[in-house]
Chain A
Amino acid sequence: MKTFAVFLGLCLVFVFVWERVDVVRIGYQIERLKHDKTALERQRDELRVKVSELSASDRIAKLATGKLGMSLPQQGQIIVVQSRPTDVHPSLIVPVELKVAKNYLPSRRL
């Protein structure tokens, strides 16, 4: 009985110590993961700023006109076509096939 009590006591001490050590180990692990998370979030934010810088209209326009030889459309070169008459109920609109000249197709490149 005595031996059993001593054994039980030792087990309890072992479990207690093991638990404390494990808590500390998990604590370190959490801290490392938090550090990784912070680093990744920082990297994400840096990339978001970079994307925003690279997609600035000013930069795109400079690249388009300076490097790619593009130019702004002149007056009348852009025609906006209303997709459907506003005073007609959508159910009354009959779809028709629209043929566009081949050299206007966006897939054709010079």
Chain B
Amino acid sequence: MDITDLTACELIAQLEQRQLSSSEIVDAFLYRIKHLDSRLGAFLHVDEEQARRRAAEVDRRRQAGEKVGPLAGLPIAIKDNICTCDQKTTCASKILANFQPPFDATIVRRIREADGIIVGKTNLDEFGMGGSNELSAFGPVRNPWDPDRVPGGSSGGAAAALAAGMVPLSVGSDTGGSIRQPAALCGVTGLKPTYGRVSRFGLVAYASSLDQIGPLGRTAEDVALLLEVLAGHDPRDSTSVPGGVPPYRQLLNNRPEGIRLGLLVDQLGQGVDEEITQAISEAAKVFERLGMPVIEIGLPHHHLAVACYYIIATSEASSNLARYDGVHFGYRTDERAMEEELAQERRLWAEKGLAALPEEPDPPIVRLYRKSRAEGFGPEVKRRIMLGTYALSAGYYEAYYLQAAKVRRLIRADYDQAFSQVAALIGPVTPTPAFRLGEKIQDPLAMYLFDAFTVGANLAGICALALPCGQTRSGLPIGLQLQGPPFAEHVLLQLAYWFQKETDWHRRRPPLTALDRIAAGRGDTP
């Protein structure tokens, strides 16, 4: 038996029956990280020593008959835009390369209290801004199914680590598809909970009205296990919703019979790979076999979702990222070089004015901000800050931000209308499977359009889940998206759970040849 092939729930069962110890489990996954990750790039930081120490501690407590938490002894990876007080939190940005948070995010605290073992922090597109994980300041993540392809993003490290068997559970964040899209491209299951379901305290903000933390696992059951720990009200996040948390894992046993599902036919066909259209149609038949009628349904304003999302998300980002100023924390430019440069500019300006420089030299503090940010942020982050600042600036606010906020309500109303007819929506996660590294990097708009099917759920604040539902002829995973009304996570998880009882796509692992190629890149074989 290969320990790293087991699901989180299977591992828990083995731990409870004393068939395995947490130390054995942690060692097996750490071994895998060691042999694969220098080429895969899924982790930005791994704390082996602490993971082993905590595993031994959980084993000791279990041995002594003490009560242990629901995640006791399981290795878990955390996306590196979520604060951990004992490991750096970089957001894959040079500007936070050495940032050591003074506190734990609420979900990190909850995982620790549930006796989960945080083995490391996973790679992402800088500040969550990207859909391929090529936009990390510390190097791209590769897709375990084909190392020449992207794992998706921005939680690319979280999904790739799972797919490659380096952890049984991981935590990501989803602002416009950042959990679901990499889950789809890497063949794992990932949930974007309803806005307000999970505390965002300690999540580094990108777009505050859209950001949500969520679990990734290999199965719906694993995702339910982790969601139970993550979810719940937190007085430190006023947008987290008061009230209890349903027993998601237990609720999986209820088979959702007789409920109606809506197939998003507009998201199939033109502009979408034929193999994906085919796989989604097959998935719809699986639900019909399970006793759930599927009707065709549309979201009339959904073709506006990408434009709406990129105005709102970048506007919020331009405000949120104002905090990186080279003063309170993070990267600061070389002050002496800056002063010299400014002195020279001031001389030129005094002599020749506009003939020499395009604009008047800044006061030193302003130049410090500008230069620190220019050197600390990557090109996509700058592009989004620029776009958002433009959309909010005098003269453009009404045409862009306000208009997008109105369209947002229309998108939400489409969902409300749809959910008055069906319990959940089914459709694709992405228009194509994983693309090649470098394929879209020169074309920001093409990268944005790849988010067409995922951004709607964030704009509306509803819950949505991605799970594997097929493979292309070339062997790449295809993802199925389930979208449900606010706080219907239990319904989506039930649908995914019963779908996974009928199919085995979630059991497929990346081919050994691909993993061998990954390991070979490092010069040794596991």
A and B associate: no
Chain A residues near B (Cβ < 8 Å): none
